[in-house]
Structure 1
Amino acid sequence: MGREILQHTKELAETMHLDVLYGDTDSRFVNSTASELSEALRISNEFKVVNEQYRKLEIDFDAIFQCLLLLQKKKYAAVKLGNGAETSIEVKGLDMKRREYCTFEEHFSVQQILSGEVSEIVVEQIHDYLFCVGENTRGGTLRLDEYVINKRLAKNPEDYPKAEGQPHV
């Protein structure tokens, strides 16, 4: 039944001339191209018509994203719209969410990528930043400790049942 509802929502999106960016067993990302929140909400509510055909599953929307960086299945960062003009960054499955990072990664943040700037400008900023990192690396001015990948544990080491099989523990 889950596949049926996903197929139905995909077909509905296509009839509404919307792009389906991603879909799996429990979610569907659709580009509404709406520039106003009220219009995006109206479009998301139109998808609820699918609920009339299914009794065991119900479709609802979780969030409206102003901007989305979708890397692959279950790995994305987005600017999430809240009440009024509120926005927040939502990150799923990316390194900074998994508590793995190296110091120089922090300098160019997801907030800059999702800043709302024109794509070409953001790409140019990323290129310039990476060029500087490369220059600093070749010139020996980037300290080696900035390449170290830091990991944080989610719990105390003794609380991991098979710590010997997990090098980070």
Structure 2
Amino acid sequence: MPEPRHSRGVLCPSGSAWVDRCSWSNVDGGSMDFGERFDPNRHISNVLTGREVRLLSSDKSILPGIVGVPGCAELIGGVTEIGVDRIIMESGARFELHTHPGAHILYVMRSRGFIHIDGVDYEIGAGDTVFVPADYAHGVKTNTAVTEPFELLAFGVPHMPLESPDRMTLVTDPARAASRSV
């Protein structure tokens, strides 16, 4: 099978977001088709200049000192949504111990903070990435010694909208929360 090519004749690199439509052979020799055409209105989003939204806890209360900017998101194979959002946390803000229905990777854009996993606070700063498995209890908080906002990119699979109360579930089990609280 010839190398996959973009409709304009350009080679289609694996994982390329700019491809209109590509297909290539998988290891079994079958064809893999990567669905919809690229739509710049849906597939390009600026998380630095986009509109800020308030984030909700699973009890539908507004999370104080935390806003987000929605990035782009799309369905993979018409089933699972992947997406990215920017999270901005004022000094002193925190996400209490919680879980998400999907796995996510956090990328620290600026400042310093902590991710709390398995009873340990890990300090993270600009350039750090953190993988958090699906349904894994964790918390995030700012470093209160730093006054600048703590900014993260959150890449999620499956992705849930920032303003959805279903995006995260607070850990309410007292025994689990006592041993793993932020």
Query: TM bucket by the smaller chain?
Result: under 0.3
Larger radius of gyration: 1
TM-score by length of 1: 0.25
* TM-score of the superposed pair, with normalisation by structure 2: 0.24
